[in-house]
C-alpha cells in the first residue's frame, strides 16, 4: 500500500508516472462524485470512493489483498 499527499506528488520520486497520472485522474473524479466505483483510463484500474468508519483493532480484522495494489491519498 502506498500512502501520500496528493498535493505533494513530487515528494514521491519512486512512483511510476502512470501511477501519478492515475492519481491526478482519480482526484478530478473524486471532487464531485458520490461514493462508488469509477473506471480509470489505464486497463483494469479503477477508483473506489468510499465512506469509512474507524474501529478498534480489537474489533476488526486486517484488510488483505492478494492480487491488487492499493493507494490511499488524503
pLDDT of amino acid 31? 93
pLDDT of residue 42: 94
Show the cell assigned to 60: 476488526
From residue 36, how far is each of 27, 29, 45, 61 by CA, in Å?
14, 11, 14, 23
Domain ranges of the chain: 2-49+69-73
Please state whether the predicted TM-score (pTM) of the whole model is above 0.95: no
Q: What is the pLDDT of residue 63?
A: 72
Per-residue model confidence as pLDDT tens digits over 4-25: 777 887 877 888 899 889 989 9
Given a cut of 70, is residue 73 above it in pLDDT?
no
* pLDDT tens digit sequence for 30-71: 999 999 999 999 998 999 888 877 778 787 777 777 777 777
Amino acid at each position: 500500500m502506498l500512502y501520500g499527499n496528493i498535493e505533494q506528488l513530487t515528494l514521491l520520486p519512486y512512483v511510476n508516472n502512470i501511477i501519478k497520472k492515475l492519481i491526478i485522474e482519480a482526484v478530478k473524479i473524486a471532487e464531485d462524485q458520490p461514493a462508488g466505483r469509477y473506471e480509470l483510463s489505464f486497463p483494469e484500474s479503477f477508483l473506489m470512493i468510499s465512506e469509512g468508519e474507524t474501529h478498534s483493532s480489537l474489533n476488526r480484522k486486517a484488510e488483505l489483498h492478494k492480487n491488487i495494489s492499493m493507494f490511499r491519498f488524503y
